[in-house]
């Protein structure tokens, strides 16, 4: 076909063909995606792509074409590569875990800011629904004396999280268990975080194909109203959170008031509601309703 990419295709021509094909497939920001795809598939730096646009792809062409066909079919580039950058670090991505997107970095930022005065302490972390381990690993990297526990209902997801923690040299400070929320756990934990499933069951089919077709259903389906996970988590957070600890939960668009009410019924106090870069309320954070005054805050 005329827009196929072969060994004699130049980098410049490949970029133009990729952008056109991705646009025709309905991919947002096709030129940007085409640039990323070409660089990742061909192993090119940004400087190499700009500095030698007429260079032929050669043996890399087959990989570029394979990537292109999968992206045209709706598979995200992160899934094709099997990796995702999160908070400046690379994480292995498998079909068993949620793709950790930039919106979730808002949760990490909230936790880091709240615990800035205590960043050198031996904090104890708990990540409900640990998935890839991106949140837990990032916080442990930023807090060098902290230790953490990740919990996931999926054994395959737990294995992915362990692999990512080990790859970052965090195996000695972190463990991952298979279980349902806080069942069988003993606290207290200084920091409890979670990006739980919060999509209403009936809305899943209408999500972008990159999400609906590739993220695991377990990580998406929040039940009839999208709030099942918060109802299960709230009493566990109240039970396991240290008196001067804090929790941070990712939430879906428009869920802030309902989640805050669920938390309040469990005896938890909401301290902040934070928006992501798109201006969507994304994170709700708080403490025990009986928490004492915080140190240095």
Q: What pTM did the predictor assign?
A: 0.90
What is the four-CA torsion angle of 150, 79, 89, 126, rounded to 10 degrees? Answer: -10
Q: Are residues 103 and 149 in the same domain?
A: yes
Specify whether 69 is located in the same domain as 87: no
pLDDT score of 183: 87
pLDDT 10s digit of each residue in the chain, 297 long?
578 899 999 999 999 999 999 999 999 999 999 999 999 999 999 999 999 999 999 999 999 999 999 999 999 999 999 999 999 999 999 999 999 999 999 999 999 999 999 999 999 999 999 999 999 999 999 999 999 999 999 999 999 999 999 999 999 999 999 999 988 899 899 999 999 999 999 999 999 999 999 999 999 999 999 999 999 999 999 999 999 999 999 999 999 999 999 999 999 999 999 999 999 999 999 999 864 544 444
The domain containing residue 89 runs over which residues? 83-288
Asked whether residue 229 falls in the same domain as residue 283, the answer is yes
- 39 within some domain: yes
| 48/121 same-domain check | no
In a domain, 269, yes or no: yes
Same domain, 198 and 255: yes
Q: Does residue 294 belong to any structural domain of this protein?
A: no
Q: Which residues of 228-255 are buried (b: 16+ CB within 10 A; e: fewer)?
A: bbbebbbbbbbebbbebbbbbbbbbeeb
Residue 175 maps to which CATH number? 3.40.50.150
- 73, 93, 118 - which closes a domain: 73
Q: Which residues of 40-78 are buried (b: 16+ CB within 10 A; e: fewer)?
A: bbbebeeeebeeeeeebbeebbeebbebbeebeebbbbb
The structural domain count of the chain equals 2
pLDDT at 289: 80
């Amino acid at each position: 076909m005329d827009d196929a990419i072969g060994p004699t295709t130049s980098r410049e021509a490949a970029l133009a063909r990729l952008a056109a094909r991705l646009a025709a497939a309905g991919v947002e920001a096709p030129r940007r995606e085409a640039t990323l795809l070409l660089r990742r598939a061909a192993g090119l730096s940004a400087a190499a792509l700009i500095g030698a646009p007429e260079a032929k792809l050669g043996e890399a062409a087959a990989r570029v074409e394979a990537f292109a066909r999968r992206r045209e079919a709706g598979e995200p580039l992160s899934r094709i590569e099997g990796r995702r950058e999160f908070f400046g670090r690379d994480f292995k991505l498998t079909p068993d875990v949620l793709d950790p997107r930039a919106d979730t970095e808002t949760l990490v930022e909230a936790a880091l800011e709240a615990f800035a005065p205590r960043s050198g302490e031996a904090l104890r972390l708990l990540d409900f629904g640990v998935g890839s381990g991106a949140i837990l690993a990032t916080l442990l990297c930023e807090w060098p004396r902290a230790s953490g526990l990740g919990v996931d209902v999926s054994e395959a997801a737990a294995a992915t999280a362990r692999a990512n923690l080990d790859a970052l040299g965090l195996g000695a400070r972190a463990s991952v268990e298979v279980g349902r929320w806080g069942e069988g756990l003993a606290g207290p934990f200084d920091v409890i975080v979670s990006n739980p499933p919060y999509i209403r069951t009936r809305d899943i089919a209408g999500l972008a194909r990159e999400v609906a077709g590739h993220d695991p259903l377990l990580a998406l389906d929040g039940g009839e109203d999208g709030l099942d996970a918060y109802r299960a988590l709230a009493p566990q957070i109240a039970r396991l959170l240290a008196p001067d600890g804090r929790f941070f939960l990712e939430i879906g668009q428009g869920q802030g008031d309902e989640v805050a009410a669920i938390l309040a019924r469990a005896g938890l106090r909401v301290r902040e509601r934070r928006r992501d870069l798109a201006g969507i309320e994304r994170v709700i954070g708080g403490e025990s309703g009986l928490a004492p005054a915080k140190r240095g805050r």
